């Protein structure tokens, strides 16, 4: 008998985020705990780490021709530290343990003098399921995205003979984020976004 259980939606999402943001760079929960331990030894009130990976693309069509297409990838890790009324930030576009430790060290200058604070074991939190963590950029081939814009243009022109110009654009983004806090909470989210924009110019009697 198969005793395996189906993973809960957040468990699947968390594992996907972990595979995107931590595993490729050999960063594990004990490394995050070690970074927090080095920060909290300097008497900070609060600290968190923010990991991010995003991929975005856009297509635009005008007069039946693809005028532009773009593709962009962004990633990095940020560190925030709070001590009293002071807040320090540090960021690196290199996701690595060395970059993480350097960013954490840069924020410790605001810390008060004092003893060491304990850092709990990292645990992952929960998330209310609002949308599926699908990658919209990979959901269609490039040719299909262009064909969709061409169909939209034909449809708009067929609605009214006075239509003189149709401009359509399609943009997609896939973002993976993970936030770790010094109280041991580790949370993640995957944010898919699709935007379709259509502009129509109509001219009558001149």
Please spell the DSSP secondary structure of 113-132, one letter per residue. S--PPP-PPPEE------S-
For 43, left (φ over 0), alpha (ψ -120 to 50), or beta?
A: left
Say how many Å lie between the first and final Cα of the chain, rounded: 76
d(CA 178, CA 31): 15
Please indicate, yes or no, if residue 138 is contained in any of the structural domains. Answer: no
- Print the domain residue range for 41: 9-60+68-133+171-192
Bridge partners, residue 73, by sequence? 55
Predicted confidence (pLDDT) at residue 178 exceeds the cutoff of 70: yes
d(CA 55, CA 192): 10
CA 63 to chain centre: 33
Q: How many independent structural domains does the chain possess? A: 1
In the block, residue with structure tokens 């021709």: 65
d(CA 116, CA 146): 58
Please indicate, yes or no, if residue 26 is contained in any of the structural domains. Answer: yes
Mean pLDDT of 124-133: 70
Q: Which residue has the higher pLDDT, 110 or 78?
A: 78
Please indicate, yes or no, if residue 155 is contained in any of the structural domains. Answer: no
pLDDT 10s digits, 9-54: 668 888 899 999 999 999 999 999 999 998 888 778 899 999 999 9
Please indicate, yes or no, if residue 141 is contained in any of the structural domains. Answer: no
Mean pLDDT of 158-165: 94
Please indicate, yes or no, if residue 54 is contained in any of the structural domains. Answer: yes
Please indicate, yes or no, if residue 176 is contained in any of the structural domains. Answer: yes
Residues shown for the chain: 206
In the block, residue with structure tokens 């399921």: 129
Please indicate, yes or no, if residue 201 is contained in any of the structural domains. Answer: no
Q: Which residues contact 19 (CB under 8 A, 6 or more apart)?
A: none
pTM: 0.79
pLDDT 10s digits, 62-108: 988 888 789 999 999 999 999 888 888 999 999 999 999 998 888 87
d(CA 15, CA 6): 13
Please indicate, yes or no, if residue 27 is contained in any of the structural domains. Answer: yes
Helix extents (H) in 68-178: 97-107, 142-159
Instruction: Return the SS3 of 75.
Output: strand
Secondary element (H or E) of residue 81 = strand 65-83
């Amino acid at each position: 008998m198969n005793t395996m259980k189906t993973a809960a939606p957040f468990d699947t999402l968390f594992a996907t985020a972990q595979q995107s943001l931590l595993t490729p760079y050999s960063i594990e929960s004990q490394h995050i705990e070690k970074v927090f331990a080095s920060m909290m030894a300097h008497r900070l009130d609060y600290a968190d780490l923010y990991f991010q990976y995003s991929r975005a693309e856009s297509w635009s069509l005008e007069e039946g021709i693809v005028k532009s297409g773009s593709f962009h990838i962004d990633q990095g890790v940020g560190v925030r530290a709070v001590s009293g009324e002071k807040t320090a930030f540090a960021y690196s576009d290199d996701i690595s343990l060395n970059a993480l430790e350097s960013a954490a060290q840069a924020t410790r200058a605001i810390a008060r003098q004092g003893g060491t604070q304990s850092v709990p074991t990292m645990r992952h939190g929960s998330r209310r399921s609002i949308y599926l963590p699908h990658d919209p950029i990979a959901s269609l081939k490039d040719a299909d995205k262009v064909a969709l814009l061409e169909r939209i243009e034909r449809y708009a022109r067929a609605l009214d003979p006075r239509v003189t110009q149709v401009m359509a654009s399609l943009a997609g983004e896939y973002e993976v984020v993970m936030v770790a806090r010094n109280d041991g909470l580790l949370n993640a989210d995957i944010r898919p976004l699709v935007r379709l924009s259509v502009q129509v110019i109509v001219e009558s009697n001149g």
